[in-house]
Amino acid sequence: MSKIAKFFKAIQLIIQKPYLLNNVLKDEIVSKESFERTFANVSFRQIRLVDLMESEEVKIAPYAFLSGSSLATDFALLQLLCQKFEVKDYLEIGTWRGESAANVAPFVDRVTTFNLGDEQLLSLGLPEDYVASHRFFSKDVANIQHVFGDSQSFDFHQLNQRFDLIFIDGDHSTEAVRDDTKKLSAFLKNEKSILVWHDAKVDTEYPRYEVLRGIYEGLPAEMLKHVYLVENSLCAVYLPFDIPSETIQINRLPRTTFELTLKKLPLTEK
């Protein structure tokens, strides 16, 4: 199809389905250019997942390999951070199937996982089966507490708690990431507490500017000095201390390889 034919086809489709405009506005090339105009000379630093591994093995369970799930290395990162930094109180925004909550639960004292309630999800027109999949893995885990609401309007003072690690994995639009980041960083327990953002990369190599912009707009400059992407994962972290890091390099040759053993686990319907 010629460029002109593509142009008229695209216009026709946008007139028929205006929501397709979001694909242009949220395109990563557009987000990258806009990010670089606002935050000139930022070069993202990256830390290595393997540097956090004190033993050879990390067991990821549960892991459903379903659509939209985090990567196994994202759950490994959360587990490793919880162990290495002795996280007792963990908060996450975005429960969905409860997979991340269930993965960290064995390594912390208390997990608080926050999500829009089922009624709210249904009122947004989301499919019933999607809504029913919420909390599948977390609902019967003793040290997991579920809290419901919209993170954009919820008053987190109600929880009467502060956290050693806060995982931000709810709405990934720039504005929501910015507001979640700004609001929740006030609930970190102390100067050693950690923030983790999911989907700060589009894949394990390429930054996701839509989310990174939210992080950069949400944190003060002195905290941004300690924000890192994490190699082999989709995450970014705020670690309030010095840790070896390097500039990201796309298309580098593999320098780490992992072994995965798939073990089928029984699922009991409760």
Binding site for ligand SAM (CB under 6 A): 70, 92-97, 99-100, 114-116, 121, 150-152, 169-171
Q: Minimum Å distance from CB 99 to ligand SAM?
A: 3
**Six-digit token string for 38:** 């606002």
DSSP 216-228: HHHS-HHHHTTEE
In the complex, residue closest to ligand SAM by CB: 94
Residues with Cβ within 8 Å of 239's Cβ and at least 6 positions away in sequence, in order, are 47, 194, 226, 228
Nearer to ligand SAM, 103 or 245 (CB): 103
Residues with Cβ within 8 Å of 142's Cβ and at least 6 positions away in sequence, in order, are none
φ, ψ dihedrals at 41, nearest 5°: 65, 20
Q: Minimum Å distance from CB 119 to ligand SAM?
A: 12
**Six-digit token string for 1:** 């199809």
Q: Minimum Å distance from CB 96 to ligand SAM?
A: 4
Nearer to ligand SAM, 179 or 245 (CB): 179
Nearer to ligand SAM, 72 or 245 (CB): 72
Helix 209-218, helix 174-184: angle, nearest 10: 30
* Cβ(84)–Cβ(52) below 8 Å: yes
Q: Minimum Å distance from CB 170 to ligand SAM?
A: 4
Nearer to ligand SAM, 136 or 245 (CB): 136
- Report which of 44, 3, 18 is spatially closest to residue 248, judged by C-alpha positions: 44
Q: Are strands 144-148 and 110-115 parallel, antiparallel or unpaired?
A: parallel
Nearer to ligand SAM, 174 or 245 (CB): 174
Q: Minimum Å distance from CB 243 to ligand SAM?
A: 23
Helix 28-38, helix 209-218: angle, nearest 10: 30
Nearer to ligand SAM, 45 or 183 (CB): 183
Q: Minimum Å distance from CB 141 to ligand SAM?
A: 13
